[in-house]
Structure formats: structure tokens, C-alpha cells
Amino acid sequence: MRTLFDRLWDAHVIRTRDDGAALLWVDRHYLHEGSHHAFARLAARGMGVAHPALTVGVADHYVPTRGPTTDPDIARMVATLEGNAAAHGFALFGRGDPRQGIVHVVGPEQGLTLPGMLVVCGDSHTSTHGALGAWGFGIGATEVAHVLATQTVWQRKPRRMRLTFHGTPAPGVGAKDMALHWIAALGADGARGHAVEYAGPAVRGLPVSGRLTLCNLSIEGGARCGMVAPDAALIDWLRGRPFAPQGAVFDRAAEGWAALASDPGAEFDAEHSFDMAGIAPVVTWGTSPEDAAPITASVPDPARATPERASRMAEALDYMGLRPGQRLTDVAVDQVFIGSCTNARIEDLRAAAAVLAGRRAVVPGMVSPGSTPVRRQAEAEGLDRIFVDAGLEWVGSGCSMCVGMNGDRVAPGMRCASSTNRNFRGRQGPGARTHLMSPAMVAAAAVTGHLSDVRPFLEGRG
């Protein structure tokens, strides 16, 4: 009896070393601007790209979201990726390409990631692709060079963990809340060394966009990867995607994908289950995604935590400028950001727009769609107007203020309600204070100017 992860592992092992590490075949290799180190290694050894057809470059981390950049260092990062694509002959969705966007949004959207694939990228959030029943994981620069040169990667087999979500989510509660909830419960290293499979009725009930959000955050709970077994909803979602097989070939492939599941009696090395009845909209208060609590709670008190946790908590609260016992809904924000590979798909933008429609934001903010196709779709639906009429800035697609590499930053000391996945110190800019939450919760914070429960807005009482 095998788990979904065992099936993916077995299907990709080329050979196993005596020490247990296995050489694995890579079906899809994504590259972003950060790949320049790996290309330098390749060049130093006079090597080329073994399988350009399985390699796809996407400009995202450094792309400007508001017209051409004036910063030569930023421009050079994007140009280097373009140069490597041209030199090695792999596809590139670069500046101006109608398919450009954040790599973890673009791959699934284009049908470049498919169920059963082993997908790698020199980026930790490659776990996102697991939502499609693929095995996606982030690799380091040395491994990127190895994959470029050989289309293979060495890995040790992770242990297997299943996270089961029972029940149905309340309105206003979604994948982001499920993710932050389990990470708060198990800790930022709670799933360390494990391949996570998400299961249960609440996961099955998530649209594919929500599954992508859930798998995206796997890494923030320490997991090596996260995945959801394919089902009919996924197969419908994939049908007709540009790089997916088409027609009868798609139907045949889909029959195979339907078999990608854990056997009913398959054993996991660890199991945890959660009841949706206990999950409210979640926000983070600290400097790790595990520092998360329901919006109805107060800022925790280090005095009540274990000594080792207490000092880290106190430091986090100091950095965040928060007092123990302060109600989370009393925390004023300076700005908002909706974007990133976590929460900038069309469904995320619709959820935020539903809250913002007919309302004004009382703080400034930016909305950056996850890809250029998402941007076009949002504009066709008039969502851009809703954001602009609310007073937010509608910009181009890229990693943008999630990481600030393109210059979109939160100023020092400023507090940002953000739909992204990392609230580390300085993540959105030196001294920036980040509160993670769902896009609808970001929209609610924009309207009130403080961390806010989105649920009254959905009931028309906001």
C-alpha cells in the first residue's frame, strides 16, 4: 500500500545510492532571475542545458510593476535571465510576454505543471505545484545547476505526513486561514522533513486556487512539499490549458491522473487533523508565519509562554510594535498589499473586490495580479475599477511587495496588511512590519484602517 507521495517518488527514481539518496528524473524545471548563479556555475564548467524543452523561465522577482525601472541593477537581473534563455534555447515568459507572471501562478495556469510530474525551481514556494497532484519542491543554486546539466536531482526520501481537514469552512474562512491555522498549531518546523498530503472534505471542497494557496504555504510549516490528490475538479480546471495535452490525449492522461491517490489503508509517518468549525479568519502578529491567531484574539503575552518561546515572542512583538493583550482588531495598519504566488489568482482578487466594491480604503495600498492573464481577466471583469475606485493602486504582475526585490517596498516602521506568505523581519523592506492574512481580510483592513474580521462585511454589516 502506497501514499500519493510514494507513487510520485517511485515513478521518478532512476537509482538509489547506498546512503539512501536517490537520483530523480525532473519533468519540469522552472527558472526565475535567481537562476543566474546556476548559469554561472554551468558556464564555468563549459556545460549547457541538457533539456531546454523541459525548462521554462519566468521573470517575476525583479520585474517592475509600474513601467520600466530606472534601477540598473534590477534591470540587469531580468536581462540576465533573458540572455540565458536566448543562449540556451529554453522558453521564457519575460517582460511584455502576455503569459508573464509569478512562476508558481504561471506554471499551473499554462498547464506546464501537470499531475504526476516532478517539478523543481530554485525557489522555496515550488511546493505550490503540489495542488495539481504534482511533486514540487524548491532547490538550491547547486542543484539548479545539476538539473540544468542533467535534468536530474538527488534527494533523500522525506517522511510522509497527512493533514486532514474535516467539516466545511464558515463564510470568510478559506485556504489561507487553514494554512496559517495548521502552521500556528504545529509550528514553523512542525512538518520538517515531511512530504505533506492535504486531505479531508474541506480540502476536497477547496477550488484549485485554494489548493494552490494551501500547498504554497507548506514550506512555511517546514514541509519539503505539499500535495492534494487529483480529482474531477482539478481535471476540469486543467482541460484546455495551453501546454496541457488536448482532446483524446488529455482524456487518456486524465484517467491516469485519477489513479494518483493514497491507498485507503496507506500509512503515514505522522497524521494530524483539524476541524473547520474551530477555524476563524487568521492574521499573524509576529515575525514567523507560526505567529498566527484568529482575528478575534488578542496579541499573546510572552509571560504566559514557555521560556524559550517567550524571548522570541518578546523580540517579535518589539519589532512589530505591539503590546501583549492588545486586541488584534485594534492594530492600525499604514498600508495594504494584495499580491504574490500565495494569493493573487483571479479568485483571490474577486474575494478582495467583493469586500471593496462601493467602499473606500482609508489607507494606501497596491494590488498586483499573480500573472498577466490574471490581470487581463480581472480587467475584463471590472475588478481593477473596484480597486482603483477604492483608492488602491492597480499594478502589473510580479513578486512585487511580497519580497521587495523590484523596488516595491514597505517603508521602515510601516505596518502592512498583506496577502503574502512571509512576515519575516524586513521581508517587505528594511524595518517593515507585515501581517499575513487572506486577500478578503486585507480588503477589510484597507476599509477600516486596522486589522479587521472580514465576516461582518460578507454579511453586509461592515
Ligand X SMILES: CC(C)[C@H](C(=O)O)[C@@H](O)C(=O)O
Sites of contact with ligand X (CB under 6 A)? 34, 61, 123-125, 138, 403
Q: At 453, is the secondary structure helix, strand, or coil?
A: coil
Q: Which is nearer to ligand X, 28 or 104 (CB)?
A: 104
Nearest residue to 29 (alpha-carbon basis) of 158, 134, 99: 134
Shortest reach from residue 140's CB to ligand X, in Å: 9
**143's grid cell:** 542543484
Query: Residue 340's binding partner, choosing from ligand SF4, ligand X, none, with beta-carbon cut-off 5 to 8 A by kind?
Result: ligand SF4
Q: Which is nearer to ligand X, 123 or 290 (CB)?
A: 123
Shortest reach from residue 22's CB to ligand SF4, in Å: 27
Contact predicate 371/102, CB 8 Å: yes
Give the residues across from 211 on adjacent strands.
Answer: none
Query: Residue 377's binding partner, choosing from ligand X, ligand SF4, none, with beta-carbon cut-off 5 to 8 A by kind?
Result: none
Instruction: Tell me the CB-side half-sphere exposure of residue 384, using CA atoms within 13 A.
Output: 14
Contact predicate 436/421, CB 8 Å: yes
Q: 109-135 burial string, b = 16+ CB within 10 Å, else e?
A: bbbbbbbbbbbbbbbbbbbbbbbbbbb
Write down the H helix ranges in 113-207. Answer: 141-150, 175-186, 201-204
- 208-216 and 103-110 helices cross at what angle (nearest 10)? 140
Query: Residue 213's binding partner, choosing from ligand SF4, ligand X, none, with beta-carbon cut-off 5 to 8 A by kind?
Result: none
Shortest reach from residue 462's CB to ligand X, in Å: 31
Query: Residue 34's binding partner, choosing from ligand SF4, ligand X, none, with beta-carbon cut-off 5 to 8 A by kind?
Result: ligand X
Shortest reach from residue 89's CB to ligand SF4, in Å: 25
Q: Which is nearer to ligand SF4, 202 or 367 (CB)?
A: 367
Residue 430 neighbours by CB distance under 10 Å: 13
DSSP structure string for 395-424? ---SSGGGT-TTS--PPTT-EEEESSS---
Query: Residue 173's binding partner, choosing from ligand X, ligand SF4, none, with beta-carbon cut-off 5 to 8 A by kind?
Result: none
Shortest reach from residue 422's CB to ligand X, in Å: 6
| Burial (CB count within 10 angstroms: exposed 0-12, middle 13-18, buried 19+), residue 45 | exposed
Nearest residue to 229 (alpha-carbon basis) of 209, 269, 200: 200
Shortest reach from residue 23's CB to ligand X, in Å: 23
Query: Residue 102's binding partner, choosing from ligand SF4, ligand X, none, with beta-carbon cut-off 5 to 8 A by kind?
Result: ligand SF4
Q: Which is nearer to ligand SF4, 284 or 340 (CB)?
A: 340
Shortest reach from residue 434's CB to ligand X, in Å: 12
DSSP structure string for 192-238? TTEEEEEESHHHHTS-HHHHHHHHHGGGGGT-SEEE----HHHHHHH
| Residue numbers at the binding site for ligand SF4 (CB under 6 A) | 60-61, 102, 104, 123, 125, 340-341, 399, 402-403, 420-421
Shortest reach from residue 58's CB to ligand SF4, in Å: 10
Q: Which is nearer to ligand X, 138 or 172 (CB)?
A: 138
**73's grid cell:** 541593477
Q: Which is nearer to ligand X, 122 or 302 (CB)?
A: 122
Q: Which is nearer to ligand X, 220 or 453 (CB)?
A: 220
Query: Residue 143's binding partner, choosing from ligand X, ligand SF4, none, with beta-carbon cut-off 5 to 8 A by kind?
Result: none
Shortest reach from residue 401's CB to ligand SF4, in Å: 9
Contact predicate 375/397, CB 8 Å: yes
Q: Could you identify the residue written with the cell 481593477?
A: 384
| Ramachandran class of 358: left when φ > 0, alpha when ψ lies in -120 to 50, beta otherwise | left
Query: Residue 27's binding partner, choosing from ligand SF4, ligand X, none, with beta-carbon cut-off 5 to 8 A by kind?
Result: none
Shortest reach from residue 224's CB to ligand SF4, in Å: 17
Q: Which is nearer to ligand SF4, 153 or 341 (CB)?
A: 341
440 vs 230: CA distance, rounded Å: 27
Query: Residue 343's binding partner, choosing from ligand X, ligand SF4, none, with beta-carbon cut-off 5 to 8 A by kind?
Result: none
Query: Residue 138's binding partner, choosing from ligand SF4, ligand X, none, with beta-carbon cut-off 5 to 8 A by kind?
Result: ligand X
Q: Which is nearer to ligand X, 7 or 29 (CB)?
A: 29
Q: Which is nearer to ligand X, 123 or 291 (CB)?
A: 123
